[in-house]
């Protein structure tokens, strides 16, 4: 027995020695390791190359900081689990819409002390800062930005003799009819029942979903937008014969040329190119059409850098240095040049939402979009309200041909009152 204990003890020492050595080496060197969840995936070789080169540049300035990059898409359950375990990464890229709820549960560090003195702050649109500002506390640093846009296939438009994108709801319906008439196997558009996109149509109809801290989802404008979506499917036959489209359905249909238009954000295009072979030179990104009121409406969103609330003060300081380095104008300009050198297609979403590069040719459309962009409600209940609205309202109008919009929305508001005290 004693022998066994001794043997186990010796084995443990042998096994733990390398870890101890590594730990001691770090301590002795004063090296700080930052775990960063923003590394591009292996499949995205050129983006990855640029990221690696960027880290090398960072290390020339901060040789004692070791960046451990992890390629991971944001998934709430994964993020919550790893943060709750206390072993969460120091810096993460998360969607801005997730910030209110994650901040509420204490995962995110307050960053006001850093941002107040940051010169680059003023170059970022206020709309982006609003999304990360919760009751005066900054919980994230806006990184990339995207706008909900209309993406269309130039090849289908050309075949159908359409020379410009639709600019109004009415034009959108007409275009869909022309496309389906000329190419019977192809439909005009496919829309996923998602409040993320629907909110733009509410704005275009002249409404607003969140005013003075209250949700207004049973207004005449919401009904008007609902009717437009419902008619696109049931009256105008603008969509493929499918009850409900999820994001992947729409992306697949668009990439394979089964639909000519889709609502989307440009950030998804490289993914669609990788997964479905979408030819990126064949697509156009334009602002969403305006409603019958003549109001333009779309929204800006994006990812933000957050710093783990549980990281040590030293790590937090270096994490801020890393974020600052990545978002500063020289790095962004270097990235733009490098992407050009590597002959990559440049999307504004690949860059910081700061206006440093706004005068570059690739950003000309963004410049226009930024002016009319709005942001989603900045409350932690928004994510779940969106989920419920999708399920009980939007999916319903795509499944049932006969819908009483008013009744549907009133029932939803009743549910909202019961479940969210709204």
Q: Which is nearer to another protein, 231 or 388 (CB)?
A: 388
Q: Strand ranges (DSSP E) for 96-247?
A: 133-134, 137-138, 141-147, 149-153, 187-190, 210-211, 214-215
Positive/negative CA dihedral, 286, 393, 229, 202: negative
Using the minimum distance from each CB to another protein, give the nearer residue, 227 or 258. Answer: 258
Cα separation, 87 vs 94, whole angstroms: 17
The radius of gyration of the chain's CA atoms, rounded to the nearest angstrom, is 24
The 8-class DSSP code of residue 344 comes to P
* 241/195 Cα distance (integer angstroms): 21
> Residue 242 CB, nearest distance to another protein (Å)?
4
Q: How far is 11 from 233, CA to CA, in rounded Å?
A: 68
Instruction: Specify the residue for token string 């008013």.
Output: 406
- The least CB distance from residue 356 to another protein, in Å, is 36
Q: Please, which residue, 84 or 280, has the CB nearer to another protein?
A: 84
**CA–CA gap between residue 132 and residue 134 (Å, rounded):** 6
Residue for token pair 């027995």: 1
State the minimum distance, in angstroms, from the CB of residue 17 to another protein. Answer: 21
In the complex with another protein, the residue whose CB is nearer, 22 or 84, is 84
Query: b/e map of 301-320 (b: 16 or more CB within 10 Å)?
Result: bbbbbbbbbbbeeebbebbb
Chain residues in the site for another protein (CB under 8 A):
1, 76-77, 80, 83-84, 101, 104-107, 240-244, 246, 249, 253, 258, 383-384, 387, 391-392, 395-396, 398-399
| CA–CA gap between residue 19 and residue 104 (Å, rounded) | 36
At residue 86's C-alpha, the angle toward residues 135 and 71, to 5°, is: 85
CB of 84 to another protein, least distance (A): 6
Cβ atoms of 31 and 64 within 8 Å: the answer is yes
Judged by beta carbon, residue 245 or residue 331, the one nearer another protein is 245
| Smallest separation (angstroms) from another protein to the CB of 64 | 30
The minimum distance between CB 79 and another protein, in angstroms, equals 9
- Rounded CA separation 355/127 (Å): 13
Closest approach of Cβ 380 to another protein, in Å?
A: 8
- State the nearest-atom distance from the C-beta of 421 to another protein, in Å: 14
Considering beta carbons, is residue 94 or 128 the nearer one to another protein?
94
Min CB(48)–another protein separation in Å? 25
Residue whose CB is less far from another protein, 243 or 312: 243
Q: Which is nearer to another protein, 175 or 389 (CB)?
A: 389
**Residues written for the chain:** 422
Task: Pick the closer one to another protein by CB: 173 or 190.
Answer: 190
């Amino acid at each position: 027995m004693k022998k066994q204990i001794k043997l186990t003890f010796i084995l443990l020492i042998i096994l733990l020695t390398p870890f101890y050595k590594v730990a001691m080496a770090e301590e002795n060197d004063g090296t700080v390791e930052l775990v960063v969840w923003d590394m591009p995936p292996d499949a995205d070789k050129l983006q990855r190359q640029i990221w690696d080169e960027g880290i090398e540049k960072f290390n020339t300035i901060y040789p004692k900081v070791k960046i451990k990059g992890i390629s991971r898409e944001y998934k709430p359950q994964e993020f919550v689990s790893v943060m709750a375990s206390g072993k969460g990464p120091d810096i993460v890229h998360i969607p801005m819409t997730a910030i209110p709820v994650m901040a509420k549960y204490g995962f995110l560090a307050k960053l006001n002390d850093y941002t107040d003195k940051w010169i680059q702050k003023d170059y970022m649109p206020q709309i982006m800062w609003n999304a990360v500002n919760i009751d005066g506390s900054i919980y994230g640093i806006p990184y990339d930005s995207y706008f909900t846009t209309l993406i269309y296939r130039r090849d289908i438009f050309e075949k159908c003799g359409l020379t410009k994108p639709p600019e109004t709801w009415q034009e959108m319906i007409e275009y869909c009819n022309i496309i389906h008439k000329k190419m019977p196997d192809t439909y005009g558009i496919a829309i996923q029942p998602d409040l993320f996109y629907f909110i733009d149509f509410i704005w275009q109809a002249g409404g607003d979903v969140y005013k003075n801290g209250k949700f207004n989802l049973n207004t005449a404008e919401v009904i008007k937008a609902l009717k437009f979506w419902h008619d696109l499917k049931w009256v105008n036959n603008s969509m493929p014969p499918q009850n409900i489209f999820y994001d992947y359905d729409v992306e697949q249909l668009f990439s394979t040329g089964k639909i000519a238009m889709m609502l989307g954000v440009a950030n998804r295009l490289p993914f669609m190119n990788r997964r479905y072979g979408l030819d990126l030179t064949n697509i156009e990104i334009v602002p969403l059409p305006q409603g019958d009121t003549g109001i333009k409406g779309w929204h800006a969103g994006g990812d933000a850098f957050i710093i783990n609330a549980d990281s040590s003060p030293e790590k937090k300081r270096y994490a801020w240095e890393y974020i600052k380095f990545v978002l500063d104008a020289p790095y962004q300009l270097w990235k733009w040049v490098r992407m050009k050198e590597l002959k990559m297609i440049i999307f504004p979403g690949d860059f910081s939402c700061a206006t440093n590069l706004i005068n570059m040719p690739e950003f000309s459309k963004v410049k226009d979009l930024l002016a009319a962009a709005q942001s989603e409600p900045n409350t932690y209940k928004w994510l779940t309200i969106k989920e419920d609205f999708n399920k009980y309202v939007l999916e319903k109008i795509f499944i049932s041909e006969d819908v009483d919009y008013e009744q549907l929305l009133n029932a939803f508001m009743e549910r909202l009152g019961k479940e969210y005290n709204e």
